[in-house]
Amino acid sequence: MDMRRAVTDLLREAILTAFPDIGVDSLPGPEMLEVPPDSKLGDFAYPCFRLAKPLRMAPPKIAQAIAEAANQPEVATAQPVNGYVNFFFHRANFAKNTLETIDKEGAGYGSQPDTGKTVVLDYSSINIAKRFHIGHLSTTVIGNSLKKIYSHLGWRTVGVNHLGDWGTQFGKMIAAFLRWGNWEMVEEGGIDALTKLYVRFHQEAENNPALEDEGRAWFKKIEDGDPEALSIFNRFKELTLKDAQRVYDLLGVTFDSYNGEAFYNDKMGRVVDELRDKGLLVESDGAYVVDLEDYKMPPCLILKSDGATLYATRDLAAALWRKDNYHFDKCLYVVAYQQNLHFQQVFKVLELMGYDWAREQMEHVAFGMVSFEGQAMSTREGRVVHLDDLLHRAQEKALSIMQEKSPGLADMAQAARDVGVGAVVFTTLLNNRIKDIDFWWDRALNFDGDTGPYVQYTHTRCCSLLRRAQEADLTAFPDYSVLADDEAQAVLRLLSRFPEAIRAAQKDNEPSVITRATLEVAKAFNKYYYEHRILDGEPQQVAARVMLTRAVRDIIRLGLSLIGVSAPERM
């Protein structure tokens, strides 16, 4: 049973009993119930100040009348407190309803049926010929989590890895490859070999400026579809994706499309033509822009003076193509907040072009920047952490701990992978996404406190208890009154509100809501575990406690899966 809905029905019935002449429009909905900061004040509270005007009565008197009229003790009892009506659940029935619902719905708890809606998520967006570093960690795991959350809530999801595969740098890379490289060297050295070639190009160009022209010439060949240029460039792309796939496999991240900037090369003409036809394209120092001064933004640059297109041109083309092909109801761009202005401009230009859906359906899901031990990351200065290095070090630490504490653990390597990678992802998604992340090795690999390994260990504790419970007699009907204590009720409140956390995460595109809700379930259960003997007592009591344990296991597993973290059964 949805307790928020049940208490709302109880509240509305009590209001109509106490005040039969009140208008239906004044009756509260479920969203008007508040969760008291202290459980001693109740499970839900309704502020009667909202009714003071239509009833022309002081809130404390309203609260008193509503509490006296509330008559469903099998659901909840009501108490008036300073203008609020506080509702206290019938503890045994609350336990029964919550646990039976979770037992029935399992992994689908809190899910919704097919909504008929589609969301396109643009995330990760790695650059070709560059190694995957921690600067791409946030966009990758936030986007992956949002894809899972929307899918759970009945949306059709389309994950897009908008590859950075366009620009003069790729012409320079081809020029460097033809001068100083070969395929054997590149295949053996991988992305690092390409990076060395690129660095050498810039070093050589300082003494030989003609190399810059050579690089531009090769990029022009890519633009013109030259077979040799495309053949070399496509092999660079294959090499990059092969290297990145190792990281995606570790993270469990997948995409439905890898259409990047190059894909829209022949689709930008539509954008330029439409802007020109609608009188939006104006010349500015030889370049062409869309004037956004009326919207307190600098002009959006569409074509440079040499006729070259820009990021905005390609993003406009991508938005139109995605709308035409995916018919999305929402399009999310999981990109760092440094691009706030860029997306504000792109969305406004689309709106000015007459595409009203841009105002409601396009959203920039911004996140904070990543620094390294107090300093901005810089490849040239060596302040960069490659993601595969981080994930492997995390696995090594997890393996070392397991070898010490669980030497007989079966499939230890897989467990270490789950825990090590999970620690990195959980830490990344623990705080509000807009916060900057200062990356320190010791912090990232700390498995104590509010961490992924702590939550995963709670899951394994539940699994262990459930394995041991198989030896007990669980045929008895559960005695839910044994779960009326404060510790069990704290767990049950969190379990019952977990669907709200999922919906809130989707509403705000904020995976940390689920991360923290899952962490709170783990904390509450561990407190319960230390205060109560789960497998001791009468069969009916054991059956109820085991049912609670099973529900906690299922919700932790669900919560971790929605943020892209594995839930091992042993560790």
Is 70 exceeded by the pLDDT of residue 383? no
Least confident range from 34-48, 232-246, 411-425, 431-445: namely: 431-445
Separation in Å, CA 305 to CA 216, 279, 346, 502: 16, 19, 20, 48
Residue-level pLDDT at 168: 86
Span 281-299, average pLDDT: 95
Catalytic residue among 40, 96, 104, 136: 136
Provide the domain limits for residue 9.
Answer: 3-89
Q: Would residue 90 show up in a list of annotated catalytic residues for this protein?
A: no
**Residue 330 annotated among the catalytic residues of the structure:** no
Contacts for 210-213 with beta carbons within 8 Å, 24 or more apart? 211/172, 211/175, 212/172
Higher pLDDT, 152 or 266: 152
With cut-offs at 50, 70 and 90, classify the pLDDT of residue 379.
Answer: low
- Give the CATH number of the domain where residue 29 resides: 3.30.1360.70
Q: Is the pLDDT of residue 269 over 60?
A: yes
Measured distance between the N- and C-terminal CA atoms of the chain, rounded to whole angstroms: 34
Residue 291 to residue 92: CA distance in whole angstroms: 64
Q: What is the dihedral of CA 275, 276, 280, 285, to 10 degrees?
A: 110
Q: Is 162 a catalytic residue?
A: no
Residue 442: inside a domain: no
**Could you tell me which residue, 362 or 405, shows the higher pLDDT?**
362
Distance between CA 523 and CA 517 in Å, rounded?
Answer: 10
Q: What percent of the chain has pLDDT over 70?
A: 97
pLDDT digits over 145-194, tens only? 999 999 999 999 999 999 998 888 889 999 999 999 999 998 888 888 88
How many domains in the chain? 1
* Residue in 96, 130, 147, 237 annotated catalytic: 130
Rounded-to-5 percentages of helix, strand, coil across the chain: 60, 10, 30
> Please, which residues have CB within 8 angstroms of residue 147's CB and are 6 or more apart in sequence?
121, 123, 157, 159
- For range 453-463, the mean pLDDT: 95
Residue 10 inside a domain? The answer is yes
- Asked, for residue 466, whether it belongs to a domain, the answer is no
The encoded tokens of residue 347 equal 């969305």
Greater confidence (385 vs 567) lies with 567
Whether residue 529 is contained in a domain is answered as no
Please pick, among 90, 117, 133, 364, the residue that the annotation labels catalytic: 133
12 inside domain: yes
Question: Is pLDDT of 546 > 80?
Answer: yes
| Residue-by-residue DSSP string for 401-418 | HHHHH-TT-TTHHHHHHH
- Whether 65 maps to a domain, the answer reads yes
For residue 179, CA distances in Å to 52, 198, 212, 222, 378 come to 81, 11, 13, 18, 27
Q: Average pLDDT, whole number, for the chain?
A: 92
Q: How confident is the model at residue 22, as a pLDDT?
A: 92
Structural domain contains residue 453? no
Give me the pLDDT at residue 74, please. 95
The reply to whether 59 falls in a domain is yes
In the chain, what is the greatest distance between 2 CA atoms, to the nearest angstrom? 89
